[in-house]
Chain A
Amino acid sequence: MEQTKLDDYLRVIELCRDVETSSANPFDVDIREKILLLKQRLPELKFLDELLVDSEAMLELAQIVKLQDQWLKQRASALYIDPLLIQLKLKLLPKETLSEAFVKSWHPIAQVDQLSSRGLEKAFVYWRELTPMSERFKSQLGTYGIIPGVVEYSDLVSLGVFTAEEFELGLTRLYDELLQKSNGEWLDYRQFIEGESYGAKVRRAYLLAFLISEGRALLKTEPLTGKIWTMALAERAKGTPKSVAISITGDS
C-alpha cells in the first residue's frame, strides 16, 4: 500500500518533468485527473516526507499549467507554423537567403557603450588582483612566461656550472676530439654532440658553439635534408661568422 501510494506521486512528478524537458504538448498531461488522484491520496499521508512529495507533485502540475498557458498563447499567435513544414523549408533554404530574411526583419538596438566610474573601478580591481604572466601558469607549465635569452659564459661561471679552468680544459678536450674524429672530413654534428645524458649533450653543444665562434671549427647545414655537419680546423678560420640556431632535444 505504502509503495503504491508513493508510486502514484512519483509517476505524476516524472510525467510532468518529462513534459517540461521536452517539446511535448503540455496538454498531454490531464491536470484534472492528476489532481483528483492527489486529492484521493492526501488523507493517507501521515509523515512530513510524504507531504513534501505531495507538494512537489502539486508544484510540477502548476508548472504544466503554466506551460499550457504559454502553449495556447503561442498557438494563437501568427508565429505558429507546423514544425515539419518549417523544418522542410529551413532545409531547402541556402544560408545566404536565411540570413537575408533575418536582416530584413531586424531592427538593431541603438545605444552607446561608455566607460562608467563603476566599470573603471572593476577594471582597476581586476588589474590589481591579476597574477603576473610568469606566475600564472607556473604550476601547469613550469617556467612558462620567461622569455628565452642568451646565456653568457660569465653567467654559467657565476651559476657554478663551469669554473674558468674547467671551461678552458673542456674546450681543449672537445677540440682535440673533433680534430681527431673529423680528420679533415665533415662529421655529423648531432652524432658528435651526443653524450651520456641530456646535460652532457647540451654541454658538448655549448662548447662546440664556442669553438665555431672562435673559428676553430666549421659548421655546415643542408636545408633540404636538415643535416648538420661540423669539422675541426687546424688553423683558425678568418672572416665574419654567421649565426645558426640549432635546437637540441633530449631524444635526438
Chain B
Amino acid sequence: MEPESADRALLERKVRRAFQVLVLQRGRNPGVKGWEMRRHLGRDYRKIIEVLSEDVAPMGLEVFEVKGPDATDDSSRFLLRFKEPPTISEAETSGIRIDDLAVLAASIAFINSKSGRVSRREVEQFLREKFPRWRVDYSLDRYVKKGYLDQDDKGMLHIGWRTRAEVDEKSLMTLILSRAQEAAKK
C-alpha cells in the first residue's frame, strides 16, 4: 500500500472511531471529555474532530466543544449536536412541552441577568408570577436533573453544562429583548 493511501485509511478509521465515540452515550451525561478523546484517537484528536465536523455538516450536525471549568483541553467536553436549531413543530414532536421550554428560557435569562448565580427561591418566586407553582417546581427539578441548570449545595442556581452545550445564550437573550420590544409596541 502507498504511504499516502495508508495515511488516508488511518485517518478515515480514526474519523469513524471519533463518530462512534461521540454518538454512543457511555456515562450518565452525553459527550466525551478531552482526555477520553485523546485516549481513543491519539494526541492529534483535535484534527480528527475537525475532519469529522466537516463530514457531518451535510447531515446538519456539528461537533461542539464545551470548555470545562479549568479551561484545559482535558476538561473540555465534545458533543455532536444540531448545526441549526430545529423548527417549533420539530421541537414539539420531540415530546417537549412549550410551557416547559418557556420556563427554561425564562430561568436562563433570569440567571444570566443576575451575574450567573441566583438562589433557587428567587427564581421560583419570579417564575411563579407567570407559571403555576407545580409547573415551576417540576420543571426546575427536571432541568437540574438534565443538566440545563446547576444547583449547588447552598441552593444557588447556575447555568448548567447542557445549556452551555445546546443553547446559544447570546442569541436567546437578544431574541427575548427584541421580542419583548415587539410585544410592548403591540
**A interface residues, Cβ below 8 angstroms from B:** 20-23, 25, 67, 70-71, 74-75, 78-83, 85-114
Known contacts A70-B115, A71-B115; is-contact A105 B85 (Cβ 8 Å): yes
On whether the beta carbons of B112 and A81 are closer than 8 Å, the reply is yes
Question: Is B35 part of the contact surface with A, judged by Cβ < 8 Å?
Answer: no
- Considering only CB atoms, which chain B residue lies closest to A75 in the complex? B115
Do B116 and A106 touch (CB < 8 A)? no
Which B residues lie at the A interface, using CB under 8 A? 22-25, 30-31, 61-62, 64, 79-88, 91, 94, 98-99, 101-102, 104-106, 108-110, 112-119, 122, 126, 129-131, 154-156, 162, 165-173, 175-177, 179-180, 183-184
| Interchain CA distance A97-B23 in the complex, whole Å | 32
With A90-B109, A106-B85 known to touch, is A114 a contact of B116 (CB < 8 Å)? no
Contact A92 B101 (CB under 8 A): no
Chain B nearest CB: distance from A160 CB in Å?
Answer: 52
In order of increasing CB-CB distance, the 6 nearest A-B pairs are A89-B180, A99-B101, A101-B175, A102-B105, A86-B113, A98-B102
Which residue of B84, B130, B172, B175 is within 8 Å of A95 (Cβ)? B130
Shortest CB distance B49–A (Å): 15
Cα A151 to Cα B118 in complex, Å, equals 62
CB distance from A162 to the nearest CB of B (A): 52
Which residues of chain A have C-beta atoms less than 8 A from B108's C-beta? Answer: 102
CB-defined A-B contacts under 8 Å, sample of 8: A23-B118, A85-B113, A99-B105, A101-B105, A102-B101, A102-B105, A107-B85, A108-B82
Q: Which residue of A lies closest to B186 (CB)?
A: A92
| A86 vs B126: C-alpha distance when bound (angstroms) | 11
Closest to B166 in A: A107
A201 to B46, CA, bound (A): 81
Across the two chains, which residue of chain B brings its CB closest to A17? B154
Decide: A90 and B171 in contact? CB cutoff 8 A. Answer: no
CA distance A159 to B117 in the complex (A): 68
Complex contacts, A74 vs chain B, CB 8 Å: 112, 115-116
Chain A: minimal CB distance from B179 (Å): 5
